[in-house]
């Protein structure tokens, strides 16, 4: 039987680690488990060790480096990555290995995160976006909170890029694809993300962090053309926010003229047009309310990611 290693980065998430560990112990396939602690102060590492779990302590490292350290300490031919705020079914490992074994070209697999059943409007609306086209298919990338990778393929591309603050999973998957591999999405590899943002404020905070390596990741990948659309979206919102501020500043310091107000109105229409249009496409079968909530999140997402592009 091929060996499976599960690598989980964690920091100050005692309740999440407890739940995820219980999920691992119900798996239908055996595995070795390694938690990589990033400097927890709430007793997370101590609890895991008391349960006989192997814990590596690496404070102050970025998440890509944490996962790389975990892989280096394991021996499995297959590596399963999970985040501590996830919950998986008892057949999670079985489903992941099934997909990896389906074709030699499949070097990584997983699925988009599921929102909790009792999710807030932010979680429910974002789940509509995340789960669009969630059928079994080949994709460009998958998030590392629910990702299976062949060890030889992972090591062959050098693992995660440790210089990136975020988007390290996007970068890894693109390098795996560039090396000739296939990334497969299969909804049977289900994972509930309890850490999904519950409020708009939390949503902004998470996207501010996730978008912090946008430009750096694009440069590190050699300026791939396929990533241009994902950069245009935040840049669009950043550009029109700056234009709006400039025109507004002019209007404040000079008596507002009717044509100035019309210019501001036109800027706002162009500014929100992409978010509105995308929400209408994605949420067209969900009703006006879901479409409106999606439009709000798409706009907030674009604004946050735009200002985070150049964050170090």
Per the structure, the count of domains in the chain is 2
pLDDT in tens, 107-133: 999 999 998 988 899 999 998 988 876
pLDDT in tens, 187-246: 999 999 998 899 999 999 988 887 776 666 666 666 666 667 777 888 899 999 999 988
Residue 218 belongs to some domain of the structure: no
Q: How far apart are CA 35 and CA 47, in angstroms?
A: 11
Task: Identify whether residues 239 and 193 lie together within a single domain.
Answer: no
Residue 215 belongs to some domain of the structure: no
Residue 36's pLDDT band, with cuts at 50, 70 and 90, is: very high
**Residue 1 scores a pLDDT above 60:** no
DSSP string for 49-82? HHTT-EEEE-TT--HHHHHHHHHHT---SEEEEE
pLDDT in tens, 255-301: 566 577 778 889 999 999 999 999 999 988 888 999 999 999 999 99
| pLDDT (0 to 100) of residue 60 | 87
Q: Can you list the positions of beta strands (E) in the chain?
A: 4-10, 32-37, 54-57, 78-82, 86-88, 106-110, 137-139, 146-150, 182-185, 191-193
Q: How far apart are CA 260 and CA 268, in angstroms?
A: 12
Task: Identify whether residues 148 and 251 lie together within a single domain.
Answer: no
| pLDDT (0 to 100) of residue 52 | 96
- Domain residues for the domain of 270 are 225-308
């Amino acid at each position: 039987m091929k060996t499976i290693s599960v690598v989980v980065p964690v920091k100050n998430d005692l309740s999440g680690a407890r739940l995820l560990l219980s999920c691992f112990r119900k798996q239908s396939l055996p595995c070795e488990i390694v938690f990589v602690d990033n400097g927890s102060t709430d007793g997370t590492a101590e609890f895991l060790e008391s349960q006989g779990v192997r814990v590596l302590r690496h404070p102050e490292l970025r998440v890509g480096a944490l996962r790389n350290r975990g892989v280096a300490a394991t021996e499995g031919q297959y590596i399963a990555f999970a985040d501590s705020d996830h919950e998986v079914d008892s057949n999670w490992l079985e489903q992941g290995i099934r997909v990896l074994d389906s074709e030699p070209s499949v070097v990584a697999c997983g699925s988009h995160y599921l929102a909790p059943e009792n999710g807030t409007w932010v979680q429910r609306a974002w789940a509509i976006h995340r789960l669009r086209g969630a059928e079994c298919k080949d994709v460009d990338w998958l998030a590392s909170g629910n990702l299976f990778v062949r060890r030889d393929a992972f090591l062959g591309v050098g693992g995660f890029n440790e210089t990136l603050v975020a988007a390290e999973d996007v970068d890894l998957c693109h390098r795996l694809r560039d090396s000739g591999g296939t990334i497969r999405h299969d909804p049977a590899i289900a994972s509930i993300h309890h850490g999904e943002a519950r409020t708009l404020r939390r949503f902004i905070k998470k996207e501010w962090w996730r978008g912090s390596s946008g430009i750096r990741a694009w440069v590190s990948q050699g300026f791939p053309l396929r990533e241009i659309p994902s950069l245009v979206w935040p840049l669009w919102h950043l550009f029109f926010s700056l234009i709006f501020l400039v025109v507004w500043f002019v209007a404040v310091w000079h008596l507002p003229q009717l044509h100035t107000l019309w210019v501001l109105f036109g800027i706002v229409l162009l500014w929100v047009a992409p978010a509105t249009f995308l929400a209408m496409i994605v949420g067209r079968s969900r009703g006006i309310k879901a479409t409106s909530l999606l439009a709000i999140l798409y706009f907030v997402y674009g604004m946050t990611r735009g200002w985070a592009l150049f964050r170090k």
